[in-house]
Amino acid sequence: MKKLLLVALFASLSLVACKKNQAPEETPAPAQTAAPAENTAQTAEKAGVLKGIISPENQKAYSEGQKAAYMAGTHIKDKNADCAGCHGETGLLDDSETQVNEGCVGCHGDLDEMAEVTAKGEINPHKSHLGKINCTACHGGHEPSAIYCNNCHSFDIKISSEGQKPLLKKIDIEKYKNASSDVVENVDVLVIGAGGSGHIAALTAKNNGASVILVEKMPIPGGNSQLAAGGMNAAETIYQKALNIPDTKETMFQDTMKGGKNISNPDLVKVLADNSAGSMAWLTSIGAKLSAVNMGGGATYKRFHAPEGGAAVGSYLVNIYKDVAEKEGLDVRLNSPAVKLIVDETGAVKGAVIDGKHSGPYEIHAKSVVLTSGGFSANPDRVVSYRPEYTGMTTSNQPGATGDGLDLAKEADADFIDMKQIQIHPSIAVGSGTLITEAVRGVGAIMVNHEGNRFYDELSTRDKVSAAILAQPGKTAYLILDDNIRKSLNQIEGYFHLNLAKEAPTLEELAKLINVPAENLVNTVKEYNKAVDTKKDKFDKKPQTLEKKVEKGPFVAIEIAPGVHYTMGGVKINTDSQVINSKNEPIPNFYGAGEVTGGVHGANRLGGNSISETVTFGRIAGAKAAENAAK
């Protein structure tokens, strides 16, 4: 790929020798500095490299041997590091920032080693469900640093050189209408978007003999796929058989059609159900074991597969995909948005223009292109354009879930279906983008408004509970639970780690903490506990769900609001994962898989079907793309 060539600059510099986590005073003076009288910037200027590569406003900062207060500056000034210390002797810088990250690791150690250094607090920024990610996802070199975690959480921790680290979210595809470049790379299969679908399509195409490039616009891979907390649906798996669960592909098909209110494309649903056990077997073959089988919403039998021991399914799977990708040497490029599809005069897709963070625009010419760029729940403008009533709503999605892929596909005349079908989740924690799992209400939490009153059946369907919350003053609600309920669900402790849950020894004190009238809250709970006794609830909560009283302190409150969770609509595909155009024909060389596509989930997605879709359609898209490239 096109690399930023700083060879001339860096070759003339020496690498500062540095051992892991060395204190500054122990840092040895640069051992073999070629020209000590000359500082790094002078060397650089002499080589003429700074001109043209670095923006004029940054040039001054560089020529002073540092850049303002950012980390490159402080490292050069205080830590005796130099350009090559971070950039390596060759000075190459790809868009994934591989070389600089090797520099960080060389001096400080990798994430695991850093996690030991910062193990003190409750939240350890170097150890998380995101698994192995780049140091530069958070620490900027010549730009401010910012904690990537806080795109979804609101951790109150500091990072040095803190500021607004520029983060690419929505891509303005319109702006790139005429984009092109003389810099061209050729590949068999280009995959756009490195979430679950993208990794699986790319790995499958590679295994089928194709050369592959996988591009991702964000500084970390994983997309929404790594956020999935629950499980993956599959029928007739070895895990179900071991537990004597009499599920069939046909029942999964029927449940999915019914869940989607019968507007799904039955051919695609059939592919989903028929291939689900095969997809599970494929996952097993790469070392992912989803052997815990639970009941999921809208399912006739237990088919919601999760890792044994209660780990969240999404981060578990994505961390395995990342490991396999690394082992197989898959070319994954971060900070590399696809900004335009290259389409020839016959309408065939021929590749894409990529605008790399450092390399700028370049073209990848591909025999097949697979679109796996995910949904658009994190793009309020687009959501509201289909559903005005969702104005102002939060989301459970990662910040890059903006739906640029739909604009890319439009350029190739792709057809779209079910665009108005957008799933709302009732319980996103207020003040963060963190989903509070439905299981909290499942194990007995009640829901009150700012007056301290209950107002709806907590366990009604997602759309109804969401609408009920939005009808309350302030459009948010509190989940209220007691110590018994808290102890019955592990994940609730996680919400304490995340500072999303508040606790107090009595209901009165809890009421004060969350600013609701104490008398109302106490009466509400009294009335609810009576309903548990009589099995008769004024909001018609089903008797079998009136199980646990709210009675034992300390009591807990979590503020929630409905958020945009999943976009069912997207580009139209056929059972070979080919993208279909407005004339209802497959677009040559163009494939799609995952949340960017529509038709599988109809008007409502069943929990667990989405991860299943990423594996099944990711595999089909990858195999067909490789086959097409070999023609």
Confirm or reject binding of residue 59 to ligand HEC (CB under 6 A): no
Assess 349 for contact with ligand FAD (CB under 6 A).
Answer: no
- Closest by alpha carbon to 325, among 629, 5, 96, 90? 96
Cis peptide upstream of residue 554 (ω within 30 degrees of 0)? yes
Contacts of ligand FAD in 280-319 (CB under 6 A): 313-314
> Which of 197, 437 has the CB closer to ligand HEC?
437
Selected from 30, 85, 141, 405, the binder of ligand FAD by CB under 6 A is: 405
Q: Is 125 in the site for ligand HEC (CB under 6 A)?
A: yes
Token digits of residue 320: 């395995």
User: Which of 57/533 has CB closer to ligand HEC?
Assistant: 57
> Could you tell me the smallest distance in angstroms from the CB atom of residue 359 to ligand FAD?
14
- Residues paired with residue 185 on neighbouring β-strands, in sequence order: 364
573 secondary structure, DSSP code: B
Residue of 153, 333, 541, 601 that binds ligand HEC (CB under 6 A): 153
Residue 164 binds: one of ligand FAD, ligand HEC, none (C-beta under 5 to 8 A by kind): none
Nearer to ligand HEC by Cβ, of 94 and 537: the residue is: 94
| CA-wise closest residue to 319 among 291, 284, 288, 292 | 288
Is the separation of the CB atoms in 462 and 424 below 8 Å? yes
177 Cβ contact list (under 8 Å, min separation 6):
340
Dihedral sign for Cα atoms in the order 489, 492, 497, 503: negative
Shortest Å, Cβ 34 to ligand FAD: 41
- Binding piece for ligand FAD, criterion CB under 6 A, among 20-28, 55-63, 113-121, 216-224: 216-224
Residues numbered 426 to 465 that lie near ligand FAD (CB under 6 A) are 435
Binding residues for ligand FAD restricted to 558-577, rule: CB under 6 A: 566
* Residue that the structure tokens 């130099």 belong to: 82
The answer to whether 13 and 43 are in contact (CB under 8 A) is yes
Q: Is 85 near ligand HEC (CB under 6 A)?
A: yes
Question: Is 42 an interacting residue with respect to ligand HEC (CB under 6 A)?
Answer: no
Active-site pick, 333, 462, 486, 619: 462
* Under rule CB under 6 A, residue 54 binds ligand HEC: yes
Q: Which of 97, 143, 404, 415 binds ligand FAD (CB under 6 A)?
A: 404
Are the beta carbons of 202 and 582 closer than 8 angstroms? no
Q: Which of 4, 210, 228, 557 binds ligand FAD (CB under 6 A)?
A: 228
Distances (CA, A) of 309 to 224, 292, 312, 419: 22, 8, 9, 37
Per the structure block, which two tokens stand in for 9? Answer: 């600059």
Helix ranges (H only) for 329-458 are 380-386, 404-411, 439-442
Counting every residue written for the chain, the total comes to 631
E-strand ranges in 307-437 read 331-333, 338-343, 349-356, 360-371, 394-395, 416-417, 422-429
Residue from 22, 300, 488, 499 binding ligand HEC (CB under 6 A): 22
Binding to ligand FAD in span 163-192, by CB under 6 A: 171, 192
The three-class DSSP label of residue 317 is helix
Q: Does 611 bind ligand FAD (CB under 6 A)?
A: yes
Provide the residue type at 138 as one letter: C
Decide if 303 is catalytic. Answer: no
Q: Is 229 in the site for ligand HEC (CB under 6 A)?
A: yes
Residues labelled as active-site residues? 462
Q: Which residues are at the interface with ligand FAD (CB under 6 A)?
A: 171, 192-198, 215-218, 223-225, 227-232, 313-314, 337-338, 372-374, 396-397, 400-401, 404-405, 435, 566, 594-595, 607-611, 614
